[in-house]
Structure 1
């Protein structure tokens, strides 16, 4: 089942069950996917869909940070709920151990030896894990491995 089909099915269920929050998040996701499709002028590939979903997660995480800084727990809770719904459509996330293995392989592959090689390692790792791990966590692990 494609992502759009899943979203449509979940949207029907959310409407029937009167889940307003879930419904609004699904509509936002569909809208983002359709906007990206229009922008590119073609149907989105699975990889492009994951990119859009990852962007949605990142935007919500950034908003969550800002709301928590500002002491707006009401808005922070709403964003946390939205995040759980969006993450359901992303591929299963890699564990930290799996990430470390991929990162170690990439370090060997590019012959990285210091923090100055961070960009080289990240450019090899990120395409492999697209949508399966948070970029900031990957960055932190790479820096630890290069230290």
Structure 2
């Protein structure tokens, strides 16, 4: 079992003891999703794959918040925001703008990219380094702006 998954399991036990229903419910959702991935793909998740799953869950929550606020359903947006805050506790520290730019610079130099046709190569190098630490949509937009 990955270290991150063990940490999440330990946090679930702490949330049970503290009777923190929101945190407990969110952690159970996380573990359920991780277990589903393990069963579906017949693999044991490593920390990198757990981060990918957590990043996806965080993105889903951000999208839901936007949609609920547009539909004037603040109570549902609040629930999603609470879940997002719990998910964020398991993600690594977000990268600063300067750090993201540096990673993009390094990837562009490594690939020798100078046109949009090579964006996929740049993103293939950038994505593993920023996964869970930056929104991929924003990173992708920054890479596009370079061409």
TM over 0.5: yes
Name the counterpart of 2:125: 124
Q: 1 CA distance for matches of 2:35 and 2:45? A: 9
Question: Where do 5+ consecutive residues of structure 1 fail to align?
Answer: none
Name the counterpart of 2:49: 48
Question: Where do 5+ consecutive residues of structure 2 fail to align?
Answer: none
Runs of 4+ in structure 1 off by over 4 angstroms are none
Provide the alpha-carbon RMSD of the alignment: 1.7
Name the counterpart of 1:86: 87
Matches of residues 10-89 of structure 1 in structure 2 within 5 Å?
10-89=11-90
Asked if the contact 1:103/1:125 (under 8 Å) is kept, the reply is: yes
Tell me if 1:103 matches 2:104.
yes
Q: 2 CA distance for matches of 1:113 and 1:4? A: 40
Partner deviation per Cα, 1:81-111 (whole Å, 9 max, x = no partner): 1111001111222111100001011122222
TM-score in terms of structure 1 length: 0.89
Asked if the contact 1:67/1:73 (under 8 Å) is kept, the reply is: yes
